[in-house]
Amino acid sequence: MNNELALQISEQRDDICEWMMTRFRELMSEERIDDALHFADEWFEWMDPEGYINETTHFYNEDELLQLYLSLPETDR
């Protein structure tokens, strides 16, 4: 992976984390506690500051994935 791609992925991950924390706070401020807790349950690994750094994030290129799928023999699909 080149540095430019690594930086792009890191920025995407940061954007996702910022959105997730903003949304959680919005739900709490709207007193939608159950919704906030369910939301937090889905994003728990990313909300944990200790685990976040160690959490692996997998990204893929949709076009490359489609090409790989189409290259498989019919019996493997």
The 10s digit of each residue's pLDDT in 7-16 is 888 888 889 8
- Three-state SS for the chain is CCHHHHHHHHHHHHHHHHHHHHHHHHHHHCCCHHHHHHHHHHCHHHHCHHHHCCCCCCCCCHHHHHHHHHHCCHHHC
How many domains in the chain? Answer: 1
Residue-number span of the structural domain to which 37 is assigned: 3-76
- At 30-40, the pLDDT tens digits run 999 999 999 99
pTM above the 0.75 mark?
Answer: no
